[in-house]
Structure 1
Amino acid sequence: MKRPALAHRAAAIGALTALAALACCGARAATAASAFPHGGLASGETTQALRIVLGLTLLAVLPALLVCVTSFLRTIIVLSMLRHALGMQETPPNTVLLGLALFLTLFTMSPVLQKLNQDAFTPFMNGRQTVEQAYERGSAPLRDFMFRQTREQDLALMVELSKAPQPRSPDDIGNLQLIPAFMLSELRAAFQIGFVVFLPFLLIDLIVASILMALGMMMMPPATISLPLKILMFILMDGWGLLLKALVGSFH
């Protein structure tokens, strides 16, 4: 007979606990309703929630923005082409190339980022600007950077493909035409630099292949001999320093 009594007591305690929790929730709801009689949150809390949502959205699209509107695209392509020119498919690793490209992008974009932070991000976070004002003032330095790197032919191509009216000034060109034109110009510049990088290594491959054929060593892969020679030449001429200087200096 003790077990049913214990079960009844436990059920009673659980019911009282549930009622107490409901009472607490009701009291909190009443307090909130009295604080905000119109049923909405305070303007400060709404603004803070909007900032959090915008921050999370920015973090989600940050990789795409990094590739599309910064100097990262040109840098990573040139570094990848250098690795292929050396003949090493996995050295340096992708993580190393990505890290180096990120730091070079930071060095190149630092004036733009400082202006963006000063004119748009900091005033918006402090509540001195609306979302529209922050977007307009934040996109201005990025657009200026992209216009300096973009060829007129690529801009004309994107305007033609989008079937937009002919612009009379840079302000008439929207981001829908500017960003892909900027990416096309970056691809062109990256392939031009990569072609120049490939030439000396290609010359070494041709010389090694000719020497092996002259010696009758046709079964020996030329890469076995040319790879250490290319690495030695790249180290002696301070290839990394020259390449990084050329990359950073190629941005207007």
Structure 2
Amino acid sequence: MTKAAAKQKINKNLRRLLISLAAVVLLSVVLFSITVYADPGVSINVNGVENPNDRVEALDVLFLLTVLALLPSILIMMTSFTRIIIVLSLLRNAIGLQQTPPNQVLIGIALFLTLFIMSPTISDIEKTAYKPYVAGTVTQEQAIDLASKPLREFMLKQTYKSDLNLFRTVAKEQRPETYDELSMTIVIPAFITSELKRGFIMGFLLYIPFIIIDMVVSSALMSMGMIMLPPSSIAMPFKLLLFVLVDGWGLTVKTLITSFN
């Protein structure tokens, strides 16, 4: 038997085995369905929940699961996380390090800095919305409205007026008398756009000293005739030395925190 014929036979036997397994699985599903529908003890209540309290608890659980599913988006888009992670990523690229620190470390730093920066807002939300809701003095809708006020105040302090006017114009809404009258559908995208702008501006300013080092190293190598030597491999130690000597991480974190004040 040739090698091609043996390979064809193996493929044929494997195909038969897969077909047999699929048939067994399909037969098992059919038998299980017949057993379930034939069993009089198995019933499905299509008339809803009899106890109203159970229905309310089920809706609360559904609301909680929805919030948990949207929590990453809320964390990224409505807090200081976006600006922090942009600045840290651009800083890593400016130094020339591709995977150091790794993404997990940068995300961890951004998360804890976000908790530190957002702690006053979180405390206000807990005091004005969460505790009254747990105590039963306010309803769920009132708690959401109370919780959105500190978050709205934080976002409006970091949002450019031009971005607010942009989204307000696109939404064809009238100019409000106060910023508190703006809807969250306008405040949130305006805040995200402003955070992107500030993050890229801070990243550009961080790039400048490292670009100067690259230019100096490249000019020195060209003057010495070392054209084939990559300037990045020579400039990397000087970048790291400069960053360590000036306490780069401390200055970056301090600048990020004070930029939200």
User: Which secondary structure does the structure 2 equivalent of 1:216 belong to?
Assistant: coil
Does the CA contact (< 8 Å) of 1:167 and 1:173 recur in 2?
yes
TM-score, length-normalised on structure 1? 0.82
- How much does 1:126 deviate? 3.7
What is the aligned partner in structure 1 of residue 98 from structure 2? Answer: 89
Q: Which residue of 2 aligns with 1:41?
A: 51
1:164 aligns with 2:158: no
Which amino acid is 2:226 matched to? M
How many pairs are equivalent? 221
Report Cα offsets for 1:205-241 as digits up to 9, x if no partner.
0000000000000111100100111011111111000
In structure 1, the gaps of 5 or more residues are 1-17, 30-38
Q: Which residue number in structure 2 is paired with residue 53 of structure 1?
A: 62
Counterpart in the other structure of 1:129? 138
> Contact (CA 8 Å) 1:154, 1:184: kept in 2 or not?
yes
User: 2:212 maps to what in 1?
Assistant: 203
Q: Give, as a single letter, the amino acid of the residue that structure 2 aligns with 1:138.
A: A
Residue 172 of structure 1: how far off its partner (Å): 2.4
Q: CA RMSD in A?
A: 2.1
User: CA offsets per residue over residues 58-101 of structure 1, 9 Å max, x none?
Assistant: 11001111111100000000000001001111111110000000
Q: Distance in 1 between matches of 2:214 and 2:220?
A: 10
Which amino acid in 2 is paired with 1:233?
L
Q: Alpha-carbon deviation of 1:195?
A: 1.3
Which position in structure 2 is the counterpart of 1:115? 124
Please give the residue correspondences for 1:1-252 in structure 2 after superposition, counting only pairs within 5 Å: 22=41, 40-43=50-53, 45-252=54-261
- Percent of residue pairs bearing the same amino acid type: 45
Give the TM-score taking structure 2 as reference length: 0.79
- Specify the code of the residue in structure 2 equivalent to 1:237: V
Question: Any stretches of 5+ residues in structure 2 without a counterpart?
Answer: 1-37
- Once residues 146 and 73 of structure 1 are traced to their aligned partners in structure 2, the CA distance between those partners, rounded to angstroms, is 12
> How far, CA to CA, are the matches of 1:166 and 1:245 in structure 2?
36
CA contact (8 A) 1:51 1:125 kept: no
Q: Deviations over 1:108-157 (max 9, x none)?
A: 00010111122212332343321210111010000000011111111111
| AA of the residue aligned to 1:234 | F
Aligned amino acid, residue 115 of structure 2: L
> Take 1:188 and 1:247, find their aligned partners in 2: how far apart are those partners?
14
* Letter aligned with residue 240 of structure 2: I
For the residue of structure 1 that corresponds to 2:227, the secondary structure is coil
Residues 120 and 137, structure 1, Cα contact 8 Å, conserved in 2: yes
CA contact (8 A) 1:149 1:185 kept: yes
Match of 2:28 in 1: none
**Partner-residue secondary structure (3-state), 2:225:** coil
